[in-house]
Structure 1
Amino acid sequence: MKIKNSPIFLSILFTILALVFPTIAGAIIAIKSISSLSTIYLIQFAAFTCGILITLWIMKKSKFSLQDFGFRKFKAETWLVVIVVFELIAFFNGITIKDGFSVLTLLLLVIAVGICEELIFRGLVFKYLSAKGLKVAILGSSILFGFGHLANLLSGANFFMTLLQIAFAFLFGLVCAEIVAKTKSIIFPIIWHASHDFIAFLTDSEPNVLSVSMYVLHCLLLIGLAIYFWRALFPKKETTELMKLNNEKPEIGV
């Protein structure tokens, strides 16, 4: 197989593509010395919207259909309630209203980010890595998603908080990938991603004991969800074999 057609090589290229859009937006903001929060959000929204269009174009040009990338309905289950509660916990950190804040521009931004990043990581990357197996697709897309957040270190972000963000991103990506594997749909991860970013912007604050504790708690909850979905997707071999034996037992006639 040629390197350029390798699922792993293509997935790395898609990850680089995901980093291009926020980088361009950041460069424009820095060069123009823009300080208005609403203007910053609009520039980032425009960049991620371009990312959505380019990603959809790549999908259309691929050998797969949009349904193959997860554009299909999903059935809501009880785990959805757990995720809703999981997100509401963040409000214990309080709500932070920043100067120049606009709910509309923030909504536009988080929706664009959620769609763009999910289309790339749980769409393109997940689908292409699936050629290597479902476990590789789940773990590989999650690792690349977490790796993408290393860019925060280059922007001068707090080192410890960035490490927490990378850990959180990996776990978040892991659960989202498992949900895609379970439901065959990318719709809920998009909704969850956008909702999480919206709440995160509202409750973002300077690193302190409470904010770090919230991050750690979120990571622990994500680990629990990841284990739950992993066991549902990949039941233990012994359990599977036992179920097969039970199903194969001949019925005893009277």
Structure 2
Amino acid sequence: MKNSPILLSILFTVLALVFPAIAGAIITIKNISSISSIFLIQFISTAAGVLVIFWIMKKSKFSFQNFGFRKFKAEAWMAVIVVIELVPFLNGITDNDGFSAQYVFILLLFVIAVGFCEELIFRGLIFKYLSVKGLKVAIIGSSILFGIGHLANLASGQDFLMTLLQIIFAFLFGLVCAEIVAKTKSIIFPIVWHATHDFIAFMTDKSEPNVLAVSIYVFQCIVLIGLVIYFWRALFTKKDKSGAIIINNG
């Protein structure tokens, strides 16, 4: 592809919005109200998106390994992420569709597809193409586009405050995921984390936002800011033999 990395990144962001839009159109036209059926349609559309993304990656000048398909080692910071993902359970579990096994299974399929689809686009394609502009540009640029992509939630009639918090969370989440990819050279953990986060979010989401739900979002954002700083220092600051800090401009 001879197009500029920035233009390609914008086009990839639009691509990320296409598959949810297709699912949304089908759900609206068919007037589907069953939550399980909605998730099933969204899964099929998103899974199709994953196949398209894999095809784009295969046709690109990069290998799948270049896009982060490689092993990673367990590290202490992962425990922090586990903790912030368990906190939403304080808000209780949502009893959607009678909390049936079918509902949970379909939801699980959907979030796995979303985890693959969005991470392959934002921390795979966009991150890799923006990397030619520098690592900092790749990290920040892919995160900004990821956050902007969540503006689409407003179109679904979602509460403005929760959507704003989700956009902020998405930006910070994107920063941490991009930094993890930069540090570990692997996209696997971000995919697993993304799918897990969405699964827990759907399982604990309430129809109306409450003080506890907002507080949990704020708490998670604060922890993510801490992780952003931690990884940023790990990636871009080094010490010489005398112990002096050397700033790496990436």
TM-score band by shorter chain is over 0.9
CA RMSD after TM alignment: 1.6
Q: Structure 1: how far apart are the matches of 2:96 and 2:36? A: 10
* 1:128-143 → structure 2 map (5 Å cutoff): 128-143=129-144
Q: Structure 2: how far apart are the matches of 1:133 and 1:121? A: 16
Q: Which string of whole-angstrom CA distances, capped at 9 and with x for unpartnered residues, describes residues 92-138 of structure 1?
A: 11111112651100000000000000000000000000000000000
Q: Structure 2: how far apart are the matches of 1:227 and 1:93? A: 28
> Using a 3 Å threshold, how does the CA distance of structure 1 residues 64 and 31 change in structure 2: closer, same or farther?
same
* 1:14-93 → structure 2 map (5 Å cutoff): 14-93=12-91
> Using a 3 Å threshold, how does the CA distance of structure 1 residues 128 and 144 change in structure 2: closer, same or farther?
same
Q: Which residue of 2 aligns with 1:218?
A: 220
Unaligned runs of 5+ in 1: 246-254
Give the CA deviation at 1:157: 1.1
Q: Which residue of 1 aligns with 2:197?
A: 196
2:230 counterpart (216, 228, 231): 228
Secondary structure of residue in 2 paired with 1:5: coil
**Counterpart residue identity of residue 171, structure 2:** F
Q: Structure 1: how far apart are the matches of 2:189 and 2:7? A: 27
Q: Structure 2: how far apart are the matches of 1:83 and 1:75? A: 15
CA contact (8 A) 1:37 1:100 kept: no
2:209 counterpart (207, 210, 235): 207
The runs of at least 4 consecutive aligned structure 1 residues that moved more than 2 Å come to: 239-245
Q: Structure 2: how far apart are the matches of 1:208 and 1:91? A: 14
Give the CA deviation at 1:230: 0.5
> Using a 3 Å threshold, how does the CA distance of structure 1 residues 243 and 207 change in structure 2: closer, same or farther?
same
CA contact (8 A) 1:111 1:194 kept: yes
TM-score in terms of structure 2 length: 0.93
Unaligned runs of 5+ in 2: 246-250
Secondary structure of residue in 2 paired with 1:99: helix
Q: Structure 2: how far apart are the matches of 1:19 and 1:135? A: 25
> Using a 3 Å threshold, how does the CA distance of structure 1 residues 157 and 78 change in structure 2: closer, same or farther?
same
Q: Which residue of 2 aligns with 1:249?
A: none
Q: Which residue of 1 aligns with 2:248?
A: none
Larger radius of gyration: 1
CA contact (8 A) 1:15 1:121 kept: yes
Q: Which string of whole-angstrom CA distances, capped at 9 and with x for unpartnered residues, describes residues 125-162 of structure 1?
A: 00000000000000000000000000111121111111
Q: Which string of whole-angstrom CA distances, capped at 9 and with x for unpartnered residues, describes residues 201-238 of structure 1?
A: 111012111110001001001101111011100116xx
Q: Which residue of 2 aligns with 1:181?
A: 182
Query: What is the total number of aligned residue pairs between the two structures?
Result: 241
Q: Structure 1: how far apart are the matches of 2:9 and 2:242? A: 37
Q: Which residue of 2 aligns with 1:248?
A: none
TM-score in terms of structure 1 length: 0.92
Q: Structure 1: how far apart are the matches of 2:236 and 2:182? A: 11
Give the CA deviation at 1:241: 7.6
